[in-house]
Amino acid sequence: MNREFVKKLVKAEMLRYEALKEILPENMKSRLKGIEREAGSLIKDIAFEFMAESLFKQEDQGQEETSRADHKFAAKNTPDKSGGAAEKTVRQVEVDFN
């Protein structure tokens, strides 16, 4: 679909939702705000887990391509405090849902 058309459809739905919220009683508005916060938090957590899982899958695929000799060399030359291989690092990812 055309990107501008999709943007306008999303904006129209957002305006429709805002109009619906305006006619709700105050107690329903407060409950709806709580549900919105929980849903936003849930979506943020799901997105974070999805990206982290995707990142780990990419790392695992990259490690499978490396030969065993390379693993032994890396384990010997980059030990951690216990003498084993160095632990994986995790990159921080920022997500803006606005």
Give the percent of the chain with pLDDT over 70: 68
pLDDT of 61 > 80? The answer is: no
Band the pLDDT of 83: cuts 50, 70, 90: low
Confidence of residue 1 (pLDDT cuts 50, 70, 90): low
- Per the structure, how many domains does the chain have? 1
Query: How confident is the prediction for the chain on average, in pLDDT?
Result: 78
Q: Report which of residues 71 and 59 the model is more confident about.
A: 59
Kindly give the residue spans of alpha helices, DSSP state H, lying in the chain: 3-22, 26-65, 68-77
Q: How far is CA 52 from CA 46, 62, 67, 86, 90, in A?
A: 10, 15, 25, 19, 8
Q: Residue 79 is encoded by which pair of tokens?
A: 């030990």
Instruction: Give pTM, 2 decimals.
Output: 0.46
Task: With respect to residue 26, please indicate whether it lies within any of the assigned structural domains.
Answer: yes
Q: Is the pLDDT of residue 76 over 90?
A: no
Phi then psi for 78, rounded to 5 degrees?
A: -130, 65
Residue 65 confidence class, pLDDT cut points 50, 70, 90: low
Which residue range forms the structural domain that includes residue 19?
Answer: 3-74
